Structure 1
Amino acid sequence: MLMELSIRNFAIIEALSLSFEKGLTVLTGETGAGKSIIIDAIHLLVGGRGSAEFVRHGETKAEIEGLFQLEDETHPLFIKAAEFGIDASDGMVVLRREMSSSGKSVCRINGKLVTIAVLREIGRTLIDIHGQHEHQELMDERVHLLLLDQFGGEKITVALTEYGKLFKQYDSAMKQLKNLSQNEQQTVHRLDLIQFQHEEIQIAELELDEDEKLSEERKKINNFERIHEAFQTSYQALREEQRGLEWISVAMNNLEDAASIDDSVQHLSESVSNSYYVLEDAASSIRDQLDALEYDPERFDFIENRLNEINQLKRKYGKTIEEVVEYGAAIEEEIETLLNRETHIAKLESKIKSIKQDLIIEAKNVSELRQKFAKQLTKQIHQELKELYMEKTVFDVHFHQSAFTFDTFAGEGIHAGGLDELEFYISTNPGEPLKPLSKVASGGELSRIMLALKSIFSKHQGITSIIFDEVDTGVSGRVAQAIAERIYKVAVDSQVLCISHLPQVAAMADTHLFIAKSIRSGRTKTTVKPLGQGDKIKEIGRMISGVEITDLTKQHAKELLEQASQLKRGNKAGKRGIQQNS
């Protein structure tokens, strides 16, 4: 859940820090006070599209930061975080986004710099934002298949895993067959090319790390004079008359003499003696190295030519000698395959036929499970819509007809998710045909449809926080009360933030935040105030009647709050009863 939100210099917000709780948090206030600006800030925090226009006038940058806490160890964020190398092991995630007045964005997750794309990937696992005209995944037919699979839970997951293993084998074999089945002219050209490449690599007789060893040797030959001079000068400093070793020998002999008189000098004598013999050995080694030094111009030319040959091969076939050798081994296998093309095609066709038989069985299993869960989903959606006073609405999971059946399956149209293509269809009026959900008109009906879907899918998507931005627009009366109860129902299992103009929704809030704006020193400023019971009555009264709040309005507000309390108590009691029975 979203624990803390900090916003600085964003639109009309100068500085704002908010703490959020579990359950339903409702944000209310006059139009233009900044309610939607707060949601806009959250949207940007989870990877939404930014703009320099969001930066408060006169400031250089806007800053948004959010702290999320995850209690479920199986939350999908942990997989995503590991994928991008982000440490989230303690279950705490801090998202931060800065936008400069020049339009640049800087994004961080737990202190690590990330791209907006990564921020968006992580953000999708944390927050789901729904507005009156922005229903995201639920309105996108491309993800309806995924939503149905999520609804199906472990049974569909297990079936898809088995299917997926076979699909990878099938897909790989089909690609190999396609490559081998190219026209003969292309095959001959490819064979000529890789045979030439293989011969070039084989003739080179490359050795691992050969280039590094040759480069080191070339460096020594290039610096022959410097090395020779260094050895010669070092040897002279140690061995010539009146130089290092001779003077150390004098010191050694004198200390040995002193040690024969005074035992306390013994350790100094031994130390100097040891140093003398070590330096004597070093001087001998320097002399041997000096005698062995020889400038060989022919060896230098060989190294230059060999390194040039190796670098040419690396430019063609890999960044390192190891990669060049691996490429040579790969094309050697391809050469063998192309030379025996017909044999390999026959083997692949036999393999594909065998895989296809098992793939059909697994695909049938997945499709049958989807058909089963589609019926369950349809039943639950109808029940939700009935409680939202849309009992005449018809919902259906529409499976598109393919150009083939399982019995005649030849591989066309298959994908990693199986053979199914589906879309949610709906009809809101009796006698009207079912139409794709994405084409249903917006407004009060769409708000209720979305809430019905969200009430069911929120349990299966693992989203930490859900935001409803004025999804209750265009409804009133008993429908408004039904929507309030649906939003609260979603909030029982998820954290929900809701911007609303409906008093019924505000009355159901576990936490009620009042958004207001004021003008100070000629600048507009947004403030947020948590409301206690007395202030809740006043605010709900304002939402009911407008500017003037009468005693009757206050009484109505109190009744709404009491009714909401009774519904909550009943809901909690019912939930406890279910848990005890289970």
Structure 2
Amino acid sequence: MLTALSIRDVVLIEALDLDFSGGLGVLTGETGAGKSILLDALGLALGARGDSALVRHGTTQAVVTASFDAPPAAAALLAENGLETEPGEPLIIRRIVKADGGSRAFVNDAPASAGLLRELATHLVEIHGQHDDRGLLNARGHRALLDSFARIDTGPAAHAYRAWRAASEALATAKDELESEARDREWLEHAVAELTAFAPEDGEEEVLATRRAGMQRGEKIADDLRAIADLLEGSDGGLAKLRQAARVLERVGEDHEALGEALAAIDRAIIEAAEAQDKVDEAAAALAFDPAQLEADETRLFDLRALARKHRVQPEDLAALSQDLSERLDRLDSGGAGLAKLERALAEAATAYVIEADALSAQRSDAAMRLDAAVKGELAPLKLDAARFRTAVVPVAEDGWGPAGKDRVEFEISTNPGAPFAPLTKIASGGELSRFILALKVALAEEGGAATMIFDEIDRGVGGAVASAIGERLARLADRTQLLVVTHSPQVAARGRHHLLIAKSHDGTVTRTGVRMLDEGERREEIARMLSGATVTDEARAQAKRLLETA
């Protein structure tokens, strides 16, 4: 909802600050007073083109600031654009237009583009009049309005559509992969045969390298181990000499105590030397190698590393690569069966979507007839009894199908008997257009509209009972939303909850446009002026009083 509007130096408006509230607000004033200037100023805040002609003569820039209670959709749009709003905080849009051209825009003091302002405007304000190009005149929103009117749930169709698209993408991906692998079949078959024949194993390189290193070390110290064995166990080795010395000491050991101790020490030496010999023999056995085995391990290791370089992987990844390429070849060989399965899944998903979309189409066709009847009932009181309205629900080509079904919905009218139906935007008369939109708004019960609606001279060219009917319907709409109406009709003005008077003043040098809120007495006088013209009569005042009392 629009809560405040501040204008500085826009055409004839020098400085103006207005506060707004809910319900029906009317703006009146004599012709040429500047009502269009007020709408132009608001249009700047809503992203309209920043025309330097709007800058008041003699000033450098025009500034318009509009404050809104932001609806959730507007807050979500701001969040998508990186402009967060605090819950409960007002949404403040400021637009600056310079006299030498160019403009700047700010949303809550953060720089913003005019494009973002226009996107925000779709959630904030609908301006209905002869220059309206949004709201109900935008056919892209007609389907959503019809769905809201009929309480149609598009969720099942959206779910079916996503499943259909996912199935289509899965089939396309499988076909691409199959075609790519088919082009590489010859290489794939050769690679699988080569890897299968070589049969690499997980961790094989480490095993071969470790075993090869051990055998190489054994080869280097084999002579040393044999020399150690000769020194310990040979006929002239240390152990043999120790045993000889022990046998001699055994014969003479009793002749002296020290000889017995010497024998005991030699026995210990023999035991230690024997253990040393056992360890040397153990090491020799462990480091023993078969030259043929060493050659075979080296050949296998070198071939393993060469194969890894060929396939640009690490040696430890060759086994996994072999399995992966084999599986790819198997998929290629059985690809036809896989594609057939995916094609069946796609056909089933497409059928499920069509069923849901057809159900939506049937609901929309039924809802269209009910909406047409509702609008028809509103046309005659608005002096549009010769016109016809219809909601066209038209199937679209398959490439236009989407989560909301396969229909295009557009509101169409025929303004004269026998005339063909045409889109709302083809209406020539701005007054007729506003009244058609009013009839639609009443029929739709304001489903899907912006928080604030502005009707610009909706009563143009009508009076009496028609103006009363317009006022009654505007008041009815204003029970659900904020409505601002620029009007020349006293019947419409009397329905307003708030009344703003737009007036032009001249001090002999400068002409200015001002706006002020009227109290009850001033309202009666303004409505009397609207009834009688330049000279306000007592009869006009009495009639104005009756209008206000019956409104």
Aligned to 2:375: 381
Task: Return the alpha-carbon distance in structure 1 between the equivalents of residues 184 and 503 of structure 2.
Answer: 74
Percent of paired sites with the same residue: 39
In the alignment, which of 127, 130, 149 is matched to residue 129 of structure 1? 127
Alignment of 1:252-401 (within 5 A): 340=332, 345-391=339-385, 393-400=387-394
Aligned to 1:503: 490
Aligned to 1:551: 538
Q: Which amino acid aligns with 2:539?
A: L
Aligned to 2:103: 105
Q: Which amino acid aligns with 1:447?
A: S
Uncovered stretches (5+) of structure 2, i.e. residues with no partner = 189-323
| 2:154 counterpart SS class | helix
Aligned to 2:439: 452
Give RMSD over aligned pairs.
3.3
Q: Does residue 1:82 correspond to 2:79, yes or no?
A: yes
- Preserved contact between residue 458 and residue 494 of structure 1 (Cα < 8 Å): no
In the alignment, which of 95, 99, 116 is matched to residue 93 of structure 2? 95
- Preserved contact between residue 394 and residue 427 of structure 1 (Cα < 8 Å): yes
Aligned to 2:39: 39
Shift of the 112–557 alpha-carbon distance from structure 1 to 2, 3 Å rule, reads same
CA deviation after TM superposition for structure 1 residue 131, in Å: 1.3
| 1:461 counterpart SS class | coil
Task: Return the alpha-carbon distance in structure 2 between the equivalents of residues 336 and 102 of structure 1.
Answer: 68
Aligned to 2:5: 5
Aligned to 2:54: 54
Task: Return the alpha-carbon distance in structure 2 between the equivalents of residues 343 and 97 of structure 1.
Answer: 63
| 2:513 counterpart SS class | strand
Alignment of 1:497-576 (within 5 A): 497-520=484-507, 522-564=509-551
Task: Return the alpha-carbon distance in structure 2 between the equivalents of residues 87 and 138 of structure 1.
Answer: 28
In the alignment, which of 138, 141, 144 is matched to residue 136 of structure 2? 138
CA deviation after TM superposition for structure 1 residue 515, in Å: 0.8
Uncovered stretches (5+) of structure 1, i.e. residues with no partner = 196-331, 404-410, 565-582
CA deviation after TM superposition for structure 1 residue 176, in Å: 5.9
Q: Does residue 1:418 correspond to 2:412, yes or no?
A: no
Q: Which amino acid aligns with 1:140?
A: N
- Preserved contact between residue 43 and residue 129 of structure 1 (Cα < 8 Å): no
Task: Return the alpha-carbon distance in structure 2 between the equivalents of residues 364 and 20 of structure 1.
Answer: 45
| 1:400 counterpart SS class | strand
- Preserved contact between residue 47 and residue 119 of structure 1 (Cα < 8 Å): yes
- Preserved contact between residue 105 and residue 114 of structure 2 (Cα < 8 Å): yes
Greater mean deviation of Cα atoms: 424-433 or 519-528: 424-433
Q: Which amino acid aligns with 1:361?
A: I
Q: Does residue 1:471 correspond to 2:465, yes or no?
A: no
CA deviation after TM superposition for structure 1 residue 347, in Å: 4.4
Q: Which amino acid aligns with 1:364?
A: D
| 2:433 counterpart SS class | helix
Aligned to 1:217: none
Aligned to 2:68: 68
TM-score where L is the length of structure 2: 0.67
Shift of the 342–46 alpha-carbon distance from structure 1 to 2, 3 Å rule, reads farther
Shift of the 343–103 alpha-carbon distance from structure 1 to 2, 3 Å rule, reads farther
- Preserved contact between residue 427 and residue 433 of structure 2 (Cα < 8 Å): yes
CA deviation after TM superposition for structure 1 residue 129, in Å: 0.9
CA displacement, residues 493-532 of structure 1 (integer Å, 9 cap, x when unaligned): 1111111111111111111111112224622211112112
Task: Return the alpha-carbon distance in structure 1 between the equivalents of residues 536 and 183 of structure 2.
Answer: 84
Task: Return the alpha-carbon distance in structure 2 between the equivalents of residues 519 and 66 of structure 1.
Answer: 27
- Preserved contact between residue 60 and residue 98 of structure 2 (Cα < 8 Å): yes
Shift of the 521–548 alpha-carbon distance from structure 1 to 2, 3 Å rule, reads closer
Shift of the 100–551 alpha-carbon distance from structure 1 to 2, 3 Å rule, reads same
Task: Return the alpha-carbon distance in structure 1 between the equivalents of residues 49 and 107 of structure 2.
Answer: 17
CA deviation after TM superposition for structure 1 residue 179, in Å: 7.1
Shift of the 498–188 alpha-carbon distance from structure 1 to 2, 3 Å rule, reads same
TM-score where L is the length of structure 1: 0.64
Shift of the 560–545 alpha-carbon distance from structure 1 to 2, 3 Å rule, reads same
Task: Return the alpha-carbon distance in structure 2 between the equivalents of residues 453 and 529 of structure 1.
Answer: 32
How many equivalent pairs are there?
410
| 1:57 counterpart SS class | coil
Shift of the 507–348 alpha-carbon distance from structure 1 to 2, 3 Å rule, reads same
Q: Which amino acid aligns with 2:550?
A: Q
Alignment of 1:104-183 (within 5 A): 104-134=102-132, 136-153=134-151, 156=152, 159-174=153-168, 177=171
